[in-house]
């Protein structure tokens, strides 16, 4: 496998974006000062700048990077597993389940901690129901899985609407803002909450990248190569759901990342090889969400939910894919 200069550039992209992201905000800090802080070099900067970088911006930027990694890698893995270029992690009902859990926590229990726990649990529950509904006679056909995901998404969306209808209007506004997706409240506790599930899911998908290459050729071809298709597909689904549920439970619903980033990597490098696509999707996804969050907090005088920006950039990209490739299966 030959390493291209473009691959190296994409792999290194998160580092400069990370440094620049620490500089951007209502209180700008020079890049040289940020680099000195990160390297532990003594300087004469104000104490407030150290607090801004390490207590406010760094956990937020790291959270954005984790979100980009989770959503991009899960999207790339599911597209390869389903052999369909127009799917991402939310097709399994994870986002709808997590949204319902967060609405219960915010609207009824009035607790952000409860909202995170319930969103994570409901996201996993939605996936479990989707997988159980699609499984017949010991097998899980891809078409049945997608249809089951649509049904479970509709059920949880209806449950979410019911919660918003009955709770106090002020709490409804809080739920709606959460659903837009934002890193504005991200702290070190959120980073710690997401680190284990995102790290576990990423390592598992990275180790399975060779087998996903075989699966992307078709079930029969993968079986001929000795791959346990149903076991592999289940592991990919679990890992993707674990990552997406952790992110959605913390920062809300941030769509389109799992669609935009893997396709951008594949088109830039002209390869569907998961040995390349998965690690580089993690790098590009981390940089993409960090940049989107930079725009969200610096483009206007008030902060935009980052989910709005990813949708504004993702919808035209989706239309481009439809015009360029149509909705045919992965090949």
> DSSP for 260-315?
HHHHHHHHHHT---HHHHHHHHHHHHHHHHHHHHHHHHHSSSSPPPHHHHHHHHHH
Whether 3 is covered by a domain: the verdict is no
pTM over 0.85: yes
How many domains does one find in the chain? 1
Please indicate, yes or no, if residue 330 is contained in any of the structural domains.
no
pLDDT digits (tens, 9 = 90+) for 219-245: 788 888 888 888 998 999 999 999 999
Please indicate, yes or no, if residue 101 is contained in any of the structural domains: yes
Does an H or E element contain 54, and which?
none
* Residue 5 placed within a domain: no
Residue 252 neighbours by CB distance under 10 Å: 26
- For 104, which DSSP code? I
Q: Is residue 4 assigned to a domain? A: no
pLDDT (tens digit, 9 = 90+) per residue, 243-283? 999 999 999 999 889 988 998 899 889 888 999 999 999 99
- Supply the angle between the helices 58-82 and 257-269 in degrees, to the nearest 10: 70
- Residue 139: strand, helix, or coil: strand
pLDDT digits (tens, 9 = 90+) for 269-325: 988 899 999 999 999 999 999 999 999 988 776 788 999 999 888 888 777 766 765
Q: Which domain holds residue 286?
A: 17-325
Give the tens place of pLDDT for each residue, 1-35.
Answer: 556 788 999 999 999 999 999 999 888 899 999 99
pLDDT value at residue 325: 55
The two three-digit tokens of residue 227, written as one number: 């791959």
Of 53, 189, 15, 164, the residue nearest 99 (C-alpha): 164
Task: Please state, in angstroms and as integers, the Cα–Cα distance from residue 58 to each residue in 15, 21, 51, following that order.
Answer: 13, 9, 10
Q: What is the CATH number of the domain that holds 236?
A: 1.10.3470.10
**255 found inside a domain:** yes
Does the pLDDT of residue 154 top 80, yes or no? yes
Q: 142: which residues sit within 8 A by CB, 6+ positions away?
A: 82, 83, 84
Would you say residue 25 lies in a domain? yes
C-alpha R_g of the chain? 20
The string of pLDDT tens digits covering residues 52-95 is 999 999 999 999 999 999 999 999 999 888 877 777 778 889 99
Phi, psi of 136 (to 5 degrees): -135, 130
Counted residue by residue, the chain has a size of: 331
The two structure tokens encoding residue 147: 């249809």
2: in domain: no
């Amino acid at each position: 496998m030959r390493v291209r200069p473009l691959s190296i550039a994409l792999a290194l992209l998160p580092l400069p974006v990370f440094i620049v992201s620490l500089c951007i905000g209502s209180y700008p800090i020079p890049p040289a000062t940020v680099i000195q802080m990160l390297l532990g070099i003594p300087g004469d900067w104000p104490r407030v700048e150290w607090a801004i970088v390490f207590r406010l911006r760094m956990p937020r930027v790291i959270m954005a990077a984790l979100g980009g990694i989770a959503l991009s890698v899960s999207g790339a893995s599911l597209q390869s597993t389903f052999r369909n270029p127009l799917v991402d992690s939310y097709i399994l009902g994870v986002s709808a389940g997590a949204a319902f859990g967060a609405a219960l926590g915010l609207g009824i229990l009035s607790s952000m901690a409860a909202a995170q726990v319930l969103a994570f649990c409901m996201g996993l529950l939605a996936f479990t129901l989707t997988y159980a509904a699609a499984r017949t006679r010991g097998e899980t056909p891809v078409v049945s899985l997608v249809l089951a995901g649509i049904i479970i998404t509709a059920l949880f969306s209806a449950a979410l609407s019911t919660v918003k209808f009955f709770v106090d209007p002020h709490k409804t506004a809080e739920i709606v803002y959460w659903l837009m997706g934002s890193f504005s409240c991200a702290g070190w506790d959120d980073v710690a909450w997401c680190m284990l599930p995102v790290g576990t899911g990423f390592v598992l998908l990275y180790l399975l990248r060779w087998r996903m290459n075989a699966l992307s050729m078709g079930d029969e071809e993968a079986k001929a190569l000795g791959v346990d298709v149903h076991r592999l597909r289940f592991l990919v689904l679990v890992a993707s759901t674990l990552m997406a549920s952790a992110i959605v439970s913390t920062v809300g619903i941030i769509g389109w990342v799992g669609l935009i980033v893997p396709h951008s990597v594949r088109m830039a490098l002209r390869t569907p090889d998961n040995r390349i696509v998965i690690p580089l999707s993690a790098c590009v996804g981390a940089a993409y969400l960090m940049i989107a969050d930079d725009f969200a907090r610096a483009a206007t005088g008030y902060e935009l939910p980052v989910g709005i920006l990813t949708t504004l950039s993702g919808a035209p990209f989706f239309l481009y894919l439809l015009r360029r490739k149509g909705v045919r299966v992965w090949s």
